[in-house]
């Protein structure tokens, strides 16, 4: 038989256990912060990248023997890893490719590399973006017309090296700059032609043209920035102006993705460049009700969708509708 004090102690113990369970359940079911996800109206694969990837994948099915890309065909390590898993190798130089088919980058290559591949007896699959090919052609024509060639681009970028190589093949040279103040480092003639890496920023290009016009008297400015670049950047601006924070998805080495982050930050919000969903830090999202997503031209749909699902607590937003840049050659 229990005494009154014993029963009282047992009741207190039961109450304490119940309170603890309520607290635990409350912690488990604590409501999540509401988030609105805004996707840029244009994001992800452009025409040239999609074309290059599809051509390479088709070649793996239809061609016999080794298939090797000369460097990464696009600036996205996750896509390259998937290709490697499908039997498509990557080599940094032609000297390392001894047989089979070599795939030339979507960013283009110098003519000397095409000649070397032929001399080595390799089959060639050229997946250069047609818009990049236009820049090669334009730069050569302008040089042949007697213009000094100025290229607005990122020094060392694959596309820039290819454009420079195309002009050098016909005996010319190219000045490469990325910002207006760099013009002071060079002696410009009176006849100057200005072309542009396809993924540059239009406003920066316009400032450089204006600066050149202060010195040269005969200036030909051919805006060779592709439509997809303008569309991605314009969409990023519109998206960023509605958001508290922007997540910019794309390869670490992707120049156009880096520019998208800069553009978003210029709208007055924090912007974070990630390659994969695992890189997202929850501290970035604290106190942020509206989260924007944009992605570079080399970012595949599946990576963008993984990011969106993570930000939306495990599933794609109900109004999800991913549009690529609407551009054709």
| Catalytic center residues | 159
CA 322, CA 300: separation in Å to the nearest integer?
11
Query: How far is CA 154 from each of CA 25, 215, 260, 279, rounded to the nearest angstrom?
Result: 55, 23, 15, 26
Radius of gyration of the CA atoms of the chain, in A: 27
Angle at 162 between CA 158 and CA 163, to 5 degrees: 120
Contact in structure between 324 and 46 (CB atoms under 8 Å): yes
Helical packing angle, 47-62 and 130-144, nearest 10°: 110
Which of 255, 298, 228, 271 is CA-nearest to residue 77? 298
Q: Of how many residues is the chain composed? A: 329
What SS3 state is found at 192?
strand
CA 51, CA 46: separation in Å to the nearest integer?
8
CA 266, CA 258: separation in Å to the nearest integer?
13
Contact in structure between 186 and 179 (CB atoms under 8 Å): no
Angle at 308 between CA 304 and CA 314, to 5 degrees: 130
CA 157, CA 162: separation in Å to the nearest integer?
9
Q: How is residue 32 written in tokens?
A: 């999540």
CA 161, CA 170: separation in Å to the nearest integer?
15
Contact in structure between 64 and 85 (CB atoms under 8 Å): no
């Amino acid at each position: 038989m229990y005494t009154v004090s014993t029963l009282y102690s047992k009741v207190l113990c039961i109450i304490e256990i119940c309170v603890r369970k309520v607290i635990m359940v409350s912690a488990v079911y604590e409501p999540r912060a509401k988030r609105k996800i805004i996707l840029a109206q244009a994001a992800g694969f452009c025409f040239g990248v999609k074309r290059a990837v599809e051509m390479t994948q088709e070649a793996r099915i239809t061609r016999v023997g080794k298939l090797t890309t000369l460097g990464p065909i696009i600036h996205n390590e996750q896509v390259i890893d998937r290709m490697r898993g499908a039997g498509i190798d990557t080599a940094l130089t032609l000297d390392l490719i001894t047989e089979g088919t070599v795939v030339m980058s979507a960013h283009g290559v110098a003519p000397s590399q095409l000649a070397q591949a032929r001399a080595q007896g390799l089959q060639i699959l050229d997946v250069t973006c047609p818009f990049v090919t236009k820049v090669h052609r334009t730069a050569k024509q302008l040089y042949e017309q007697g213009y000094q060639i100025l290229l607005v681009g990122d020094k060392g970028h694959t596309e820039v090296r290819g454009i420079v190589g195309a002009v050098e093949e016909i005996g010319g040279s190219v000045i490469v700059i990325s910002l207006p103040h760099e013009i002071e480092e060079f002696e410009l003639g009176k006849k100057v032609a200005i072309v542009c890496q396809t993924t540059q920023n239009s406003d920066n290009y316009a400032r450089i043209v204006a600066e050149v016009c202060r010195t040269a008297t005969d200036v030909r400015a051919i805006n060779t920035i592709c439509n997809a670049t303008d569309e991605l950047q314009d969409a990023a601006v519109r998206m960023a102006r509605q958001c508290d924070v922007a997540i910019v998805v794309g390869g670490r080495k992707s120049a156009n993705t880096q520019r998208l982050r800069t553009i978003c930050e210029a709208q007055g919000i924090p912007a974070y460049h990630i390659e994969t969903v695992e890189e997202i830090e929850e501290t970035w999202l604290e106190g942020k009700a509206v989260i924007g997503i944009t992605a570079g031209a080399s970012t595949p749909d599946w990576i963008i969708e993984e990011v969106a699902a993570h930000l939306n607590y495990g599933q794609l937003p109900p109004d999800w509708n991913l549009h690529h840049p609407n551009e054709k050659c």
